[in-house]
Structure 1
Amino acid sequence: MTASATSNPLGIDQARFNMIEQQIRPWEVLDAQVLDLLTRVHREDFAPASHRALAFADMELPLTHPAVEGKVMLPPRVEARMLQDLRLQPTDKVLEIGTGSGHMAALMASLSQRVITIEIDDALARIARDNLQKAGIGNVDVRVADATAQQFAACATEAPYNAIVLSGSVTEVPPALLNLLAPGGRLVAIVGDEPMMRATVVTRTAEAAFQTTQPWDTVAPRLLNFPEPSRFHF
């Protein structure tokens, strides 16, 4: 996609079509509701102006200038696959950790009742609020906090949640987050260490029972301050 496509509606529409057909469908994102949503929630409106011409490319987009490690939009296929795996319902209350530009929150808000999204960077949170307002999305609450502080206290204020998404990678999913899921609730995270991480879907099947699947592989930047397990072994 060339820079001129951002000022050419036909070019944008073709780039969006190519993104869906060449990147997202081949990644087994086949849910018609998700695919339709990707045509209606415009990814380029959530990309920084300096990188808008690359909004549909199969890559992470820096959200700051100069670029800061971890402050990125995830690639379109990763966001789409995570969204599909969440299996959102219109009555769902959703928690996101790692708001970024607000794009994933916008997608989830379009399929659920309400999204609470937590961003550690105040400047990014302001950008996300502005992007969501311009997109006409009013059921997202962007909060500035370190989500991990005091055993995820900032996340617990409105628990339980029907869905939780971590918009970045972690070494492991903290039990404190799983405890915030309602029965039947789903958590989607990218778990592991480079060069191999696994998309991890955890479903709360009962009060103290969880079912875990790891359906696909990817790599994503780390979310800040999540606990790291000890690397020391006897």
Structure 2
Amino acid sequence: MSDLAQARLNMVESQVRTADVTDVRIHDAMRVIPRESFVPAGKAYLAYADEAVEYAPGRVLLKPRDVGKLLQILKPQETDKVLAIAAPYAAAILEAMGLTVTRLDAEDLTRPPGGGYDLIICEGAVAKAPAAWTDALAMGGRLGVIEREGPVGKACIYVKAEDGVGRRTVFDATPPVLAGFEPQVGFAF
């Protein structure tokens, strides 16, 4: 077994399972997806570290713990219509779990293609989830995103219902804010 394959197994055992991620489908997918293939070759050694890893300017892969927890809370089902926003690793995990995923990474991240998504996930943080993302949810659809305006962010789950969109926070996380989604600085009187 290669060093990276062993690191992948160790990541699941020591970072993901110990964070109360109990969905074995997520464990199984994370054990086979080569996380190092999503980062530049010079950063492959960071792929299994307990940290967010930059894969492109202003874009990161969430910590393994954070992506595992977020996916578990979203409760992906094979019939879900999925959108992964700046989330190549999460998309690969979902695909390994049997879901079909639309990926949005290079284009304008504030404009999801189409709508009617049952599940939307974003790696990295935003100051506040854009309305276009919650608007793209199907009835009963779930959005998992980390909102961050200060030193610590909150992983949030949005759910679209007949009477509007509900939001709840589920755990603390500290990934960098995605380029273009920084908090707006203003003046208060």
Name the TM tier (shorter chain): 0.7 to 0.9
Structure-2 residue corresponding to 1:38: 30
Unaligned runs of 5+ in 1: 1-8, 120-143
Write the distance in 2 (CA, Å) between the matches of 1:17 and 1:227.
Answer: 34
Residue type of the alignment partner of 2:107: A
RMSD: 2.1
Q: Deviations over 1:164-207 (max 9, x none)?
A: 1121111112222211111111000101223111000111122x
The size of the alignment, in residue pairs, is: 189
Structure-2 residue corresponding to 1:26: 18
8 Å Cα contact 1:174/1:227 also seen in 2: no
- Which of the two has higher C-alpha Rg? 1
Give the secondary structure class of the aligned counterpart of 2:148.
strand
Where relative contact order (Cα < 8 A, 6+ residues apart) is larger, the structure is 2
Residue type of the alignment partner of 1:145: E
Residue type of the alignment partner of 2:89: H
Give the secondary structure class of the aligned counterpart of 1:89.
coil
8 Å Cα contact 2:59/2:86 also seen in 1: no
Write the distance in 1 (CA, Å) between the matches of 2:148 and 2:46.
Answer: 28
Aligned partner of 2:96 among 83, 93, 110: 110
Write the distance in 2 (CA, Å) between the matches of 1:57 and 1:230.
Answer: 32
Identity of aligned residues (%): 32
Write the distance in 1 (CA, Å) between the matches of 2:107 and 2:54.
Answer: 21
Structure-2 residue corresponding to 1:159: 115
Unaligned runs of 5+ in 2: none
Q: Structure 1 segments of 4 or more deviating over 6 A?
A: none
Give the secondary structure class of the aligned counterpart of 1:16.
helix
Q: TM-score, normalised by structure 2?
A: 0.88
- What does 1:133-212 correspond to in 2, within 5 Å? 144-148=106-110, 152=111, 155=112, 157-206=113-162, 208-212=163-167
Deviation of the 1:209 alpha carbon: 2.1
